[in-house]
Amino acid sequence: MEKILLMIAIDYHEQARAEVARLVLSCTRLKAAGVDTELLDKRLETAREVERCIRDEMLRCPTEYIENAAAKVVHLRRTFTQDHATSEAGGR
């Protein structure tokens, strides 16, 4: 049961990250086109908050089995690596 719940949490987190990425791309394109993105910016802020909450809950959620802890660590490490690569690419 624990493994199923963890896989659901990881899936929700990936969906939330994909939503943030989609909104960031949309905001960037619309701003470049000179379109007002105030409402989209608010939606992006909400999506980032949801993603953070899901990630934080996943961090706090205890695991009984080492395989589940490893799956959680791998997912969160991949997330951190992607975020780090994205922030470095944006800083160039």
Are 58 and 72 contacting, i.e. CB atoms less than 8 angstroms apart? Answer: yes
Q: Is the pTM of this model over 0.75?
A: yes
- Can you give the pLDDT at residue 90? 61
Per cent of the chain over pLDDT 70 is: 93
In this predicted structure, what is the pLDDT of residue 3? 87
Q: How many domains does the structure of the chain reveal? A: 1
- Assign residue 34 a region (left: φ > 0; alpha: ψ between -120 and 50; beta: otherwise): left
